[in-house]
Amino acid sequence: MSKFQALLVSEDSPGHFRPEVVARDIAELPAGEVLIRVRYSSLNYKDALSASGNRGVTRQYPHTPGIDAAGVVEQSTVSEFAPGDEVIVTGYDLGMNTAGGFGQYIRVPSAWLLKRPKGLALREAMMLGTAGLTAALCVAKLEQAGLTPEAGTVLVTGATGGVGSIAVALLASLGYRVAAATGKAGQEEFLRGLGASQVVSREELQAGTAKPMLKEHWAAAVDTVGGDILFNVVKSLQYGGSVACCGLTAGVNFQASVLPFILRGVNLLGVDSVELPLVVKASMWDKLSLQWKIANLAALTHEVNLSELPAAIEQILAGKLVGRVLVNLG
């Protein structure tokens, strides 16, 4: 079969982008060593940016977004992968300028691929996706900086989002006391169900932006939003504490001061999951399939098909999505 279903984003007129499900031909896919029949993908904020015409993510349209994919190898020109192998792809250029996981087929370089970890089904892998990988990288960086459950409460900002919700669940499963921060009213039950012992409002985190220092509060933090909220978190870390920074939904800039760094010795740790060496990605996926496996993934996941995906994209852009969106490609 040469035809397959895919979400294709087209620029109808300058600045106006329209996603629709269309039939595409496998011959239209870019060059690459491995052709994969995609079974599952997931929706991330970056996918929504691509689907809405953000040129910082995707330069040329028409385009199929989807920075995550899990599926089965159909054709391979390299010995490392054979037809029938179950594989996952996250990041690199997938879904950015290379046709991505919102299509039933992708063709990619073998250097982007990992064989599915034995402890995760393809469906589970995409419940996690880039969001789960990023959350795991944040926790790993914090622990490398010395964090232990005995240190105190760990704050997670943007806690109802994809990365945030998985970070809450992962930290709680590892024995940490978690404070979940959100701007979405009415989500306390959801967050406590993931393991949060405390829920903090966005307004609380935004207070004191003009101050160079705030009262010591958090042992560590996972920040998924950026902006001035990130630096308020930095200013309220306990002595020697760290924040892992991985998101920008609240902005790319913040008003900074050196005082928290030189008076309290705190750390701001950057986390990237896109261009990360494949061996590091593999080690994180192994952790997520074994000792860091999250039992309640279904509680934070909503499943959609391709035809339902445009509505979910609108929701994530409007800041209304909660948890993870799993895309079933049939």
Domain count, the chain: 2
Question: Both 79 and 144 in a single domain?
Answer: no
Question: Both 107 and 238 in a single domain?
Answer: no
Give strand ranges (E) for 52-147.
68-76, 86-90, 105-108, 114-115
- The position carrying tokens 């009213």 is 185
pLDDT in tens, 24-51: 999 999 999 999 999 999 999 999 999 9
Question: Both 95 and 202 in a single domain?
Answer: no
Q: How far from the centroid of its chain's Cα atoms is residue 56's Cα?
A: 17
Residue 300 falls inside a structural domain: yes
pLDDT in tens, 163-201: 999 999 999 999 999 999 999 889 999 999 999 999 999
Greatest distance between any 2 Cα atoms in the chain: 64
- Per DSSP, the residues of 171-198 read HHHTT--EEEEES-TT-HHHHHHHT-SE
pLDDT in tens, 208-241: 999 999 999 999 999 999 999 999 999 999 999 9
The pLDDT value recorded for residue 293 is 96
pTM for this prediction: 0.95
Whichever domain contains 154, its CATH number is: 3.40.50.720
Residue 183 falls inside a structural domain: yes
Residue 113 has pLDDT above 90, yes or no: yes
Residue 161 falls inside a structural domain: yes
User: How is residue 117 annotated by DSSP?
Assistant: P
For residue 6, give the 3-state DSSP assignment. Answer: strand
Residue 158 falls inside a structural domain: yes
The pLDDT value recorded for residue 190 is 95
Question: Both 93 and 210 in a single domain?
Answer: no
Alpha-carbon distance 12 to 7, whole Å?
15
Alpha-carbon distance 329 to 101, whole Å?
9
Question: Both 103 and 169 in a single domain?
Answer: no
Question: Both 256 and 157 in a single domain?
Answer: yes
The pLDDT value recorded for residue 213 is 95
Closest CA to 230 of 200, 252, 203: 252
Question: Both 85 and 57 in a single domain?
Answer: yes
Residue 257 falls inside a structural domain: yes
Report the pLDDT averaged over residues 276-288: 96
Question: Both 31 and 60 in a single domain?
Answer: yes
**88: domain range?**
3-116+296-328
Q: Which residues lie below 8 Å from residue 294, measured CB to CB, with a gap of 6+?
A: 128, 132, 166, 169, 170, 173, 288
Whichever domain contains 56, its CATH number is: 3.90.180.10
Percentage of the chain surpassing pLDDT 90? 91
Residue 282 falls inside a structural domain: no
Residue 244 falls inside a structural domain: yes
Residue 1 has pLDDT above 80, yes or no: no
The pLDDT value recorded for residue 296 is 85
Question: Both 168 and 46 in a single domain?
Answer: no
